[in-house]
Structure formats: structure tokens, C-alpha cells
Structure 1
Amino acid sequence: MAAEHPTLPPVRLPSDAELAREALAAPLLAHAVRLARWAGPDTRVGAGGELVDEQLPDAAGVLGLGDDEDAGYWAGDAWRLAVDTGLVDVEDGADDDTPGTAAPGGNLAVVTGGAPRDVLGIWLDAFDAVFADAVAPVLDDLEPLLDEDGGLDLDSLDWDPEAESDFLEGVLGNLYLLTVSEGGPGDGPVPLPALAASMVVPDDMGEPTDDVLEQVSDAMMRLDEQFRLLEPIGLVEYQPVDEALMAEEDEEPAAPVDDEDVSRYGMVRLTPLGLYGVRTRMLEAGVDAPAVGDLAEKDADALLAGLVGYPGSAARAETEAWLAGREPLPAAADLLAAARGSDPESPLRRLHCQQALALVGPEAEPVVRAVLDDPELGGLARVWLAERGAPDVPAPPESMIFWLAVDTIAAQLDAAGDLAELQELIEGLTSRHTGFLETAWRVEHPATADVLDAMGRLHPDKTAAKEARKAAFKARSRTGAA
């Protein structure tokens, strides 16, 4: 009946200021900022902008890494990020034998004096840099990869950069979808085997084959490495795979699932900052990834149209944000005007209008009463008034009762809500209104035949279901529809 809904459910994000604070607290970016403040005339860098080896102990000391055996690695990693994000500017040496120099970059001032969105821009650059590292090949032994001149021969690698990038993008996209979907884990972690399987196991496969299970295990190990890299930038919170499960060389890989303790195989969740980062990449790729609050400044037509496909809690939050900046009376009038129409999405618009009006105070009563005689809005107006115990609510004519019933079921079908609730609604209508199906096929509503078809599929009583299918046929015959 209705057009396609948005690709993804809307995400709820903290304010830019809160996200910016999270970004600056991310360990890797915080280290990069500290090294940028430390950089000065005595800082020496190599031809690629990296710190020379002699500088790494000092850099590690600035970061307070102490006697950590990986201190030099972490310091070098933070320095590279500082260069990649413009927190540090480097200048090459006069020749190959002369080290270059470094100084604080222009973006360092943004960290302390920039707007939250500017800080988030630096973090997004950092995310891009870490993402590139995460999809880069793992080079445990460089010797076989060196060409005759001592350079790295990338063509000899079994590495497809586009495929690697697409795989990690897909994993982050699936993790995002699991997080924002109602019924998903929400703020809870997702088992690594489930993420790996979502990318490897075909949707129509029943019991995975041994070959597919081995692919899942391989994907888990690769994701384990990648999430270890992505965690320090604040994208995820990650509990790594238990090292006791790692397969030794020449041994069979560990089973990808242990029903007794799945957490041993890795658990990951996107942080609020991670949701922001993944959503930003999706938007740049042209994916429809809405966020709660996107519609707050738009008009009522855009609100009701935009809420199509939103799950219940997100629709309520979006509506509350929209109402927060408006006076009740004109807001209610705008909502009612936007709810009119006979297009396929109009029933769902009216449902969202009714839910929005439920959040408006009694000040809206004059404009609600003004539509009591409207054939499309009179039913929901009476519901709103009755729920508030308003006096002098006129009884609806029978035609309005039947029209509202069809409109309500059409909206519920498009909303793809709880099936049991919809069956209960259908059963209640036919039991409360004697002869409902004998009359419903005559209702002048564009969704009448589709609603009766649905009642024929969903009604638990076989006799009533058969009557509904007959009524649907009559409705189509009456309108000349196929």
C-alpha cells in the first residue's frame, strides 16, 4: 500500500557537544593532541613524516606510557594520527640524510577553541585514518615482499583493498543496524561470531557447511584484529577473542560458536560516537540513515511523511522534538492539515497525526473540534476528544465508523507492527460490529480491498476469513480494480 520506508531506522544521538567531548577523550586522539602540543623545533621526523626512532622514547614519556614494551609503537601510532589529522605539520629535510622537522598544526587550535562540529570533523578524519589502517594487509614478514630495489611490492600481496574496505564497511553497517533496530541489542554488545556470520553465511542457508564455518572463523580472526585497532579511536567498545581459542599453526581453527560462553569469542558494541561516525560514512555513501531530530525544524507535512517507517519509540521521540518548539494550537492545526489525503501513505500519516495529537495538551481542542465533520479526520478527532473526557462529542455516523476502521487497519498494515495486536484489532472489529464485512466492502476508501484481503489472511476464524475474502472481491468489482 505505502511506498518504501527509509532504509534504516532512525538513530538517537547525543548532542554535538557531548559527542565532541567523547571524541577528545578517545585514547588515540587524546594522545595525538598531547604529541601535537609537544612538537617543536627539536622534533625530528623521517621522510614519511614519522618520528625518528631516537624521538620515540621521549614521545612515549610525554604520553606517560612508562615501561610498556609497546610504548614506542603506541607513540608512533599517535604521532602518525596527529600528522594525518593536521594536528601536526611536518617539513621534509633538505635531503634524504637530513631529518625533517615538525610543529603544531592548525587543527590543534580547533581542539581547544573550535565549535563541537569542527572537533567532530577532526575525529572523522582520525576515524578515516584508522579505518585505512584496519583494512591494510597484515605484514608479519616483509622480506618476501621486497623488490630488487628494497621497495615493497604490493602487487605480490594477496590483498584486494576495495574488497577489504567493503567487508569492514558491511560489518560496521550490520552492527549499526543491530544497534538502532527495535528488538536489537540496543546499547548491549553483539557477539563477534554473529557479525562474522552476517557477512559470510548466505541468508537462505540452513545448516552452515564446514567450509562456511571455516570462513566464519577466518572472518572472526580478521575482525578481532580490526576492532582492536578501532577501539582506541572511540568507535567501539570491544572485548577481544579469548587467546586460548586461537588456533595454533597446523591445527584446526577453533569452533566459531560456543553456546556455553559466546563472550569468549569476542563482544563488540558501537559507542554513541561510533554510531555518529558510521552514520556519517553512510550518509556520504548515499544511504538513507535518519537520526531522531532531523525533522524537528521541518513543517508538519515533512514530519508526518518522514515518520513513515519509524518504529514506535523513535516516532514518539521525533514528534516530541518537533512539538517542543511550537505552540500547541497552531501545531495541532498543521498536523491535521498534513494528515489529509487519499494517497497510499495517508493512513499511516493519520496514525502518526493521531499519536502526535496525543502529546498535545488540551489547548488544541478548538482546532480538533473544527474537523469533526471532516470525512477523513472526524474519526480521529472524536477519539482525541473522548480520550480527554471532553463533553458534547457527537456520535459518529456509521459511514465514518467504517471508514475509520479501514483507515486504521491500513495504517497498521503499513506500519508493520505487532501481528498479534493487528489480529486482535481485526477480530474485535468483526465481533463488535455485526455485519461489518457485509458493509465494509462499500466503504469509500482507497485501501478497502487491500484491508479486506488482509483480514482474510489474518482473521483467526475461518468463516470470517472466508467472508473477508469475498468482501475484498466485491470491493474490487465495485471499483473496477483488478
Structure 2
Amino acid sequence: MSAERPSLPPVRLHSEAELARDALAAPLFVRAVRLARWAGPDTRVGAGGELVEAQLPAAAEHLALPADEDGAAYAGEAWRLAVDTGLLDVTDPEEGAEDGDGTVAAGENLALLTGGSPQDVLGIWLDGLDAVHADATAPVLDDFADLVGEDGSIDFDALDWDPEAEAEFLDGVLGNLYLLTLADNGAGEGPVPLPALAASMIVPDDMGEPTDDILEQVSEAMMRLDDQFRLLEPIGIVEYRPVDEALLVEEGESADDSAAGADDEDVTRYGMVRLTPLGLYGVRARMLEAGVDAPAVGDLAGKGADVLLDGIAHYPESAARAEVKLWLAGYGAEGAAAAAAELLAAARGSDEGAPLRRLHCQQALAVAGPEAEPAVRSVLGDPELGGLARVWLAERGAADVPAPPEDMIFWLAVDTIAAQLDVDGELDELQGLVEGLSAQHNGFFDEVWRVDHPATADVLEAMGRLHSDKKTAKEARKAAFKARSRAGG
């Protein structure tokens, strides 16, 4: 069977050391670490582990934040992150004690930031990302007092808030941003307009002109995402240019002079967002935890050659080449011949995915270099591998390459087209391959239907569909009928 296609293209991540440095440099994480090192025996915390209000000005001053409400809010946010990530251990006040009688001490994770591995740092950062993600999907409380009943209880139903739906929506947005970043082999790494990202979650794929209701939903989602990305940016997951506040000015009010002269058609005014390298890592980690197949270049290093060839079956060419290089690096220069032999052995087979494995085997051997030649020469007589071995040797100008028997030529032609059909490549390229192979041999269709290859009939039917010459296409369809009859069905 053909290898199962991953749901997402492979991502090229920065090294764990680079990502750990990025995590330690994230503004919110920096503040959390500084507060964790600042806290001492006299630091007072409340019943929920929060820093008491009286100490927020001192915390804000330590962080060089403004001595105002915003500074206190940022300090409180950093404190919560320090607690949520285990940089601080907080003991709640005992029952009956006054607020602020809780104790705080350095958490075990604080020492790991300097004495641990990059994986330790990234694990702590991921805990922080989860905490910030939860904050970003929390309900917006315009007037908290309206939710408190006479008995002091909070009416959560009045919030009209579904935490699972909110988290799923934000994860969907981040997933779309992740996919757009990986589009066209990474060519989509530029910032994405916020309206387009919101529309990707709201507007149905089959909808032509969006209705007014849909446009209103997109606008509401865009503004919610604006708030969420403002919260997510300090943890280092995105670079975000917020929505121009002049666009939010109600009709009849005046905007700032600087914004008044802005171009209304400038899409950047509506918000622009880009995943950082750390963001790619973080979003992928969340997707893997949710069971999404999100491969990364390097995942197959150290695995068997069969796993490698099946794994890269539907990778983009550049990602497949990078994966092969990492896999070969595990063998070192001395093991290149053994690696080539393992690749050739894994390329054998008559299953549906075998032609594509052989194609990628040939491409992997090209990366392996001249050290692969002894292993390649050893399969010249193999009916499945002899053809690709001759092609590989000929491309390198090797001497003493025996001419292939005619049946091997036809078998290789069928195998090559079968692999390309499985790749789902460009139609023009496939059509050129079909017409080129059939033109190379007189009486091609009189002979090829006899080829003992599992894909012979399917290949000939495809040639009949793709060939631009009607007469030749008809010959291909006749040959396909003969091949099916020969195979008993």
C-alpha cells in the first residue's frame, strides 16, 4: 500500500539550543524569571497564589515597568506565569489567615533554566504557552459585578462562554497560520493579514460572495483575535502588528492625526501576524499533543531505511532531501556503503507504494555520493533495482555499465510512471514523461502490456488519458485492456 500521507507538510525547526535561547528571551518569560529570582521570604501572596496588590508596585519597579495600572497589570501577569511554570512554589494562606499570609519559594524549575538542558527550558516554556493560551481564551468580563448574585456566587452561565469551543477556535487559527507558514516549502513565512486568518475560520470554502452575516462574524472574530494575539506575542509565539486603533474609533469621533492620514486600503492597518520559529515549535507541540500528524524534518533520523523511504514519500523535494541528509549523517562516512545497501533493500517490493520508494531511493543515493557505488553495482542484475542502478551509474559517468535487457527497460518505464502518478506532480511534467517514454521505443505499446509489474494496466490507462496524440492514446488504452486480460481481470 502507498504510504499514508501526513496531514501537514514537514516543518524545519531550529535546533533545540536556538529555540531554548528564543524561549529565554521572550519578554513575558524574562519578566517571570526576574520576579521568581526577586521573590523572597517577605513576599506576600493571596489565596490564589497571586501577588498581593500592595506588592505589585514593587514588582513593577523591579521589572522597570511604569508606576501605573498597566505596570501593575504586567507585573501580575508575569507573576502568574512564574507560578504556572513552576519557577515559584506558592503555599496558600491557612484557613482563617489574612490575605497575604501565603508563602513563596523558588521552584525546582528555576534552577533548570541555567543548569538544565535545552529540552528542560523548552518544556518549561511550553507550560507557559499553555497558561497564556488559557488566558487568551478566557471570557472578556466587561462588568464583573453583573455576574455576581446576591449570595456572592458567580453566574457562569451568564457569560455565554464555552471554554472548549474558545480553545478549539484559537487552536484552529494557530493551525491555519502554521499551515500558511509552511506553504510552498516555507515561502509563506511572511506575515498574514488578520482578516484573512479570521475569514479562514468563518467563511465556508464553497461560498462565493460572503453574506453580511458572515462578514459580521469575520469582523467579530478579527477583533477577538486582535486581543488574543496581543496576549500571545509576549510569550514569543508570534510577531504581531495590532489592528490600527483609528479603525475602531466610533463614527463622529476624531482619530489621531497620524492615523487620519493612513491609507484605508492598507491591509496592514487591520493587523498582521507571523509565527516565529519558536511559535512553529510551540504550535506543532500542541498539535502533536492533540493527536495531529505534524512531521518535522529530522523525525526519521535513526529509523530504518524502509521507514525513511515511506516517510518521505509525499514530502516536498527540498524537505525530503534534508531528511535524507540527516538520515545518512547517522551512518558517517565509513557507513555510507552500508546505508546505500539498506536503502536498496528497502526499495524492493511489489506493493502499491514500492515504485515511489524506488524513486526516493534513487534520489537518496544521489545524496549518498560515490561511496554508494559498490552497493549500487551489486544490484545490477536485480529485476526491480537493476534499472535504477544503471540510471544512477550513468548519471555519474561510471564506466563498465552493462546495457539493460529490453524487458528491464520496459519494466523501469512502468515503474517510473507509477511512481510519478503516486506523487501527484504537475500535469505538464507527467504528460511530458509519458510522451517521452513512449516515443523512445518503436512499438512501445505492443510490448509494454506484457511487463510483469503490478501497476502495468493502471499505468497504461493513465497514459491513455494523458497522451496528447489521440492515436497513441488509443494504443495505450488497448494495451491496458490486454494487460488486464493477461492478469486475469
Band the TM-score falls in, shorter-chain normalisation? over 0.9
- Could you say which residue in structure 2 is the equivalent of 1:376? 384
- Could you say which residue in structure 2 is the equivalent of 1:463? 471
1:173-322 mapped onto 2 (5 Å cutoff): 173-182=175-184, 185-246=187-248, 248=250, 260-322=265-327
TM-score, normalised to structure 2, is 0.93
CA distance in 2, matches of 1:159, 1:201: 22
- Could you say which residue in structure 1 is the equivalent of 2:259? none
CA distance in 2, matches of 1:185, 1:201: 24
- How far residue 330 of structure 1 moved from its aligned partner, in angstroms, is 0.7
The one-letter code of the counterpart of 1:27 is: P
Give 5+ residue unaligned stretches, structure 2.
254-262
- How far residue 193 of structure 1 moved from its aligned partner, in angstroms, is 2.0
Question: SS of the counterpart of 1:90?
Answer: strand
- How far residue 218 of structure 1 moved from its aligned partner, in angstroms, is 1.4
CA distance in 2, matches of 1:215, 1:185: 30
CA distance in 1, matches of 2:251, 2:56: 33
- How far residue 194 of structure 1 moved from its aligned partner, in angstroms, is 2.1
Deviation by residue 1:24-61 (Cα, 9 ceiling, x = unmatched): 11111110000000001121112111111111111111
Deviation by residue 1:381-429 (Cα, 9 ceiling, x = unmatched): 0011101111111111221111111111111111222222212111211
- Could you say which residue in structure 1 is the equivalent of 2:258? none
- Could you say which residue in structure 2 is the equivalent of 1:90? 90
- Could you say which residue in structure 1 is the equivalent of 2:31? 31
Q: 1:53 to 1:194 in 2, by over 3 A?
A: same
Deviates more, 1:319-328 or 1:60-69: 60-69
Q: Contact 2:91 / 2:104 at 8 angstroms: preserved in 1?
A: yes
CA distance in 2, matches of 1:296, 1:25: 29
CA distance in 1, matches of 2:197, 2:373: 50
Q: 1:466 to 1:210 in 2, by over 3 A?
A: farther
CA distance in 2, matches of 1:8, 1:371: 35
The one-letter code of the counterpart of 2:239 is: E
Q: Contact 2:60 / 2:67 at 8 angstroms: preserved in 1?
A: no
CA distance in 2, matches of 1:68, 1:186: 40
- Could you say which residue in structure 2 is the equivalent of 1:132? 134
CA distance in 1, matches of 2:135, 2:472: 62
CA distance in 2, matches of 1:249, 1:58: 41
Q: Are 2:324 and 1:324 equivalent residues in the alignment?
A: no
The one-letter code of the counterpart of 1:471 is: A
- How far residue 339 of structure 1 moved from its aligned partner, in angstroms, is 0.3
- Could you say which residue in structure 2 is the equivalent of 1:79? 79
Q: 1:92 to 1:69 in 2, by over 3 A?
A: closer
Q: Are 2:443 and 1:435 equivalent residues in the alignment?
A: yes
Deviation by residue 1:254-283 (Cα, 9 ceiling, x = unmatched): xxxx99432222221111111111111111
Identical counterparts, % of pairs: 75
Q: Are 2:12 and 1:4 equivalent residues in the alignment?
A: no
CA distance in 2, matches of 1:53, 1:106: 26
Q: 1:460 to 1:214 in 2, by over 3 A?
A: farther
Q: Contact 1:403 / 1:444 at 8 angstroms: preserved in 2?
A: yes
CA RMSD of aligned residues (A): 2.0
The one-letter code of the counterpart of 1:337 is: A
CA distance in 1, matches of 2:329, 2:319: 15
Question: SS of the counterpart of 1:305?
Answer: helix
Q: 1:259 to 1:334 in 2, by over 3 A?
A: farther
The one-letter code of the counterpart of 2:395 is: E
- Could you say which residue in structure 2 is the equivalent of 1:254? none
- Could you say which residue in structure 2 is the equivalent of 1:413? 421
Q: Are 2:362 and 1:354 equivalent residues in the alignment?
A: yes
- Could you say which residue in structure 1 is the equivalent of 2:257? none
Q: Contact 1:47 / 1:96 at 8 angstroms: preserved in 2?
A: no
- How far residue 480 of structure 1 moved from its aligned partner, in angstroms, is 2.3
Question: SS of the counterpart of 1:381?
Answer: helix
The one-letter code of the counterpart of 2:302 is: E
Q: 1:184 to 1:114 in 2, by over 3 A?
A: closer
CA distance in 2, matches of 1:466, 1:268: 53
CA distance in 2, matches of 1:385, 1:21: 45
Q: Contact 1:88 / 1:103 at 8 angstroms: preserved in 2?
A: yes
CA distance in 2, matches of 1:158, 1:71: 30
Deviates more, 1:180-189 or 1:120-129: 180-189
The one-letter code of the counterpart of 2:80 is: R
CA distance in 2, matches of 1:250, 1:439: 81
Deviation by residue 1:81-100 (Cα, 9 ceiling, x = unmatched): 11111111122224352412
- How far residue 171 of structure 1 moved from its aligned partner, in angstroms, is 1.1
Q: 1:247 to 1:196 in 2, by over 3 A?
A: farther
Work out which of the residue numbers 465, 474, 477 in structure 1 matches 2:482. 474
The one-letter code of the counterpart of 1:322 is: W
- Could you say which residue in structure 2 is the equivalent of 1:110? 112
- Could you say which residue in structure 1 is the equivalent of 2:401? 393
Q: Are 2:67 and 1:64 equivalent residues in the alignment?
A: no
Q: 1:22 to 1:93 in 2, by over 3 A?
A: same
The one-letter code of the counterpart of 1:401 is: I
- How far residue 182 of structure 1 moved from its aligned partner, in angstroms, is 2.7
Deviation by residue 1:189-217 (Cα, 9 ceiling, x = unmatched): 22222221221111222222222122111
The one-letter code of the counterpart of 2:376 is: V
Give 5+ residue unaligned stretches, structure 1.
252-257
TM-score, normalised to structure 1, is 0.94
- Could you say which residue in structure 1 is the equivalent of 2:124? 122
The one-letter code of the counterpart of 1:399 is: D
